Structure 1
Amino acid sequence: MQDVYFASTDTIATTIVWAMTALIKNPSMLKKVQAELRSALPTLQNKAMVEEEDIVTARLPYFNSVIKETLRVYSTIPLLVPRETMKDCTIDGYEIPAKTLVHVNAWAISKDPELWKDPFEFKPERFLEDERIFSLDLKGKDFGFIPFGAGRRGCPGITMALATLEITMANILYLFDWGLPDGVKREAIDNDISPGLTLHKKNPLLLVAKKFV
């Protein structure tokens, strides 16, 4: 259980950094998702912060699309848990013998131009404008979008990870307005990656938060 917890928190934190990187580079998207949250949750019912029940009961299509697009574009876990073939098989014309260790590249799948138009561009709207994309399930039912893996060896912490990601992002975006430090231009914000089992942002993202009133 401890392993699940620490793995989930690491990937959640990394995903949040990438989400804020994408949004601060695209101010119109940032304003749009904040406007949706603040319209759907106008008073938070006199609570100090957004809670899970608020997200579950509210209609937040653009917010949900931002979450999905972040998981697609940035793919913090690029390679899924290795599999071993149980018998000889053929995959896309390649003969794979039994007992072969197979790695599934979730990062590459989420950038496949046959599945995704402009695959390297951050476009949350794609999940709202295309019925096929909109209906994709990120919990492993559709192999074109498997940020948490699929099947019996899918991520065991998916439920906790998604809930925590959504609640944290909702609070960050609802409670604060975000900007860049003085002298920093959006063009200077990069997407450089620190390679590893988890794809962290190489250079720290520095933002200025102003409490929303």
Structure 2
Amino acid sequence: MLSTDYLLMALFLVITGFLYTHLFSYRRRHVKLPPGPKGWPVVGALPLIGDMPHQSLAVMAKQYGPLMHLRLGTTGMVVASTPAMARAFLKTLDADFSDRPYTVAARLTYDAQDMVFGQYGPRWKLMRKLTSLHILGAKALEHGAAVRQEEVGVLVRAIRDAATVNVPEMLSCTMANIISRLVLSRRMIEVEDEGPASRFKDLVNQAVALSGQFNIGDFIPSIAWMNLQGIEGRLKRTHGKFDQIMDEMIELHVKAAGEREGKPDFLDILMADGGDSGHALDSNNIKGLLLDLFIGGTDTSSNTIEWALAELMSDPTMLGRAREELDRVIGHDRRLCESDLAKLPYLRAICKEVLRKHPAMPLIPRVATKDSQVDGYDIPRGTRLIVNTWAIGRDPEAWEDPLKFMPERFLGDGKGAEISYWGNDFELIPFGGGRRICAGMRLAAVVVEYILGTLVHAFDWKLPEVGAAEGAQMMNMEESFGLTLRKAVPLTAIARPRLSPSAYV
């Protein structure tokens, strides 16, 4: 027999569904919303989203159009799935869609006290200014070249000495060390390190997986307390572990202040100069910003390089062409330098193509801060926006043969050669667009080209054999959805040196 509590809950859901369905229908009669699926009572279109939202939304867009409206619980959401629709929101109406929706995932970064989830305003602008000036801008990028060269050297020697290479793990360690040396003046992850660094690496994986899920409580706030999917509880525990690590890192940093006398690093600047605009950064802002840098800086770039290497290993002809270009420009007696990148157009085309087909962030979230109109449709204030960069990269109106990995589309005199990923060409927006375009895009672009080129030039790559009778295993290219887009099966490979021994010193 059902308990009184369950009967009351069932009655509550039925009444809520009845009232909201009628209220929503009444509102629709007074505004012209974009077309979209009708959905279910109470939950709306939430059951249609599935485990791979970027794919299911792309399929729905083929039926309902490039601008689509979905009711998710008590929340309206519009989805832009073509370059033209992305331009409308991220350029024409950028000011009206400059905020992120507040979701349970924002609790990771101290209730959206960071730059990724934070609300657009003076404090957000200060964080953006400081990171651009000291870490992610053009001058800072030039100053960090020596750090990147040293850390890529460590990566190359680790791959040389490994029997098999867990590609995403090694790439994540390298990226974490590049970021930590720029921010904290020290390497974050050492071999067999059992301190804060090794715990942090595992937590990044948890955070990315949890943050990308569509949490029911975010769309039906009245039942958020039930934590039906368990996401809120897991995020709370993950945040607690992150917070402990952040506190330990900052404490160690303060104790070592004497070692940096006259040479302040980024954390020193945040702690000392964060209030120069009258909107001082508190400890939660600083820790949230550090999490942005470490999670965003390690996960997105390492995923992109892994996808690119997997695509090249799947096509020996393409891999051979990339290697021929590298050998011709660099030779066999030294490793790739960042100054070589401008002479490697095919490598750059490969990196553009991987960002098109496998965007690090497949869905860009925003929220309407005022009532707007797009393409003749009403977008009420508070409506959530998703720009589906994954669907845009596969739009047959924008790209010829979009499912094929074809770097050549970015070479020669064709349309693709003129397209960049700096936010002005909405056919290719892996870093987003408008005022909230990814602050780290310059660093990401250089790191992806530099590390991918180094891996292709310095090593012969092949998949491990799974058995004498079966031969080499097949490349698995399935996706795993989260805040970022990962390979479902991490790339494990065998790498053999192909340059002169002196190149690995």
Q: Same fold (TM over 0.5)?
A: yes
Letter in 1 for 2:483: L
Q: Post-superposition shift, 1:95?
A: 2.5
TM-score (norm 2): 0.39
In the alignment, what sits opposite 1:135?
Answer: 418
**Are positions 1:82 and 2:366 aligned together?**
yes
Q: 2:446 aligns with which of 157, 163, 180?
A: 163
Give CA-to-partner distance per residue, 1:112-141, whole Å, 9 cap, x none: 100011111101111115521110110100
Give CA-to-partner distance per residue, 1:87-110, whole Å, 9 cap, x none: 32023x532223422111111111
In the alignment, what sits opposite 1:63?
Answer: 347
Q: Contact 1:140–1:154 at 8 Å: present in 2 too? A: yes
In the alignment, what sits opposite 1:12?
Answer: 301
In the alignment, what sits opposite 1:190?
Answer: 476
Q: Contact 1:178–1:209 at 8 Å: present in 2 too? A: yes
Give the number of the structure with larger relative contact order, counting CA–CA contacts within 8 Å between residues 6 or more apart. 1
Letter in 2 for 1:167: Y
Larger CA deviation: 151-160 vs 98-107: 98-107
Letter in 2 for 1:143: F
Partner secondary structure for residue 496 of structure 2: strand
Letter in 1 for 2:391: A
Q: Contact 1:4–1:156 at 8 Å: present in 2 too? A: no
In the alignment, what sits opposite 2:381?
Answer: 98
Distance in 2 between residues matched to 1:140 and 1:90, nearest whole Å: 20
In the alignment, what sits opposite 1:204?
Answer: 490
Unaligned runs of 5+ in 1: none
Distance in 2 between residues matched to 1:90 and 1:164, nearest whole Å: 37
Distance in 1 between residues matched to 2:464 and 2:413, nearest whole Å: 36
Distance in 1 between residues matched to 2:338 and 2:435, nearest whole Å: 27
Greater share of residues in helix: 2
Distance in 1 between residues matched to 2:330 and 2:458, nearest whole Å: 11
TM-score (norm 1): 0.89
In the alignment, what sits opposite 2:325?
Answer: 36
Distance in 2 between residues matched to 1:156 and 1:111, nearest whole Å: 25
Larger CA deviation: 76-85 vs 191-200: 76-85
**Are positions 1:149 and 2:149 aligned together?**
no
**Are positions 1:21 and 2:310 aligned together?**
yes
Distance in 2 between residues matched to 1:148 and 1:16, nearest whole Å: 15
Q: Contact 1:89–1:98 at 8 Å: present in 2 too? A: no
Q: Post-superposition shift, 1:76?
A: 2.1
Q: Contact 1:36–1:62 at 8 Å: present in 2 too? A: yes
In the alignment, what sits opposite 2:409?
Answer: 126
* Percent of aligned pairs with the same amino acid: 38
Q: Contact 2:300–2:484 at 8 Å: present in 1 too? A: yes
Distance in 2 between residues matched to 1:207 and 1:160, nearest whole Å: 26
Give CA-to-partner distance per residue, 1:48-74, whole Å, 9 cap, x none: x32222224xx2111111000011111
Distance in 2 between residues matched to 1:97 and 1:81, nearest whole Å: 16
Partner secondary structure for residue 407 of structure 2: coil
**Are positions 1:109 and 2:392 aligned together?**
yes
Superposed CA RMSD in Å reads: 1.7
Partner secondary structure for residue 461 of structure 2: strand
Q: Post-superposition shift, 1:166?
A: 1.2
Q: Contact 2:365–2:384 at 8 Å: present in 1 too? A: no
Give CA-to-partner distance per residue, 1:31-62, whole Å, 9 cap, x none: 1001101111125xx65x32222224xx2111
Larger CA Rg, structure 1 vs 2:
2
Partner secondary structure for residue 103 of structure 1: strand
Letter in 2 for 1:189: M
Partner secondary structure for residue 8 of structure 1: helix
Give CA-to-partner distance per residue, 1:168-213, whole Å, 9 cap, x none: 111101111112223224xx21211111111111112221111013
Distance in 2 between residues matched to 1:4 and 1:84, nearest whole Å: 26
In the alignment, what sits opposite 1:180?
Answer: 463
Q: Post-superposition shift, 1:147?
A: 0.5
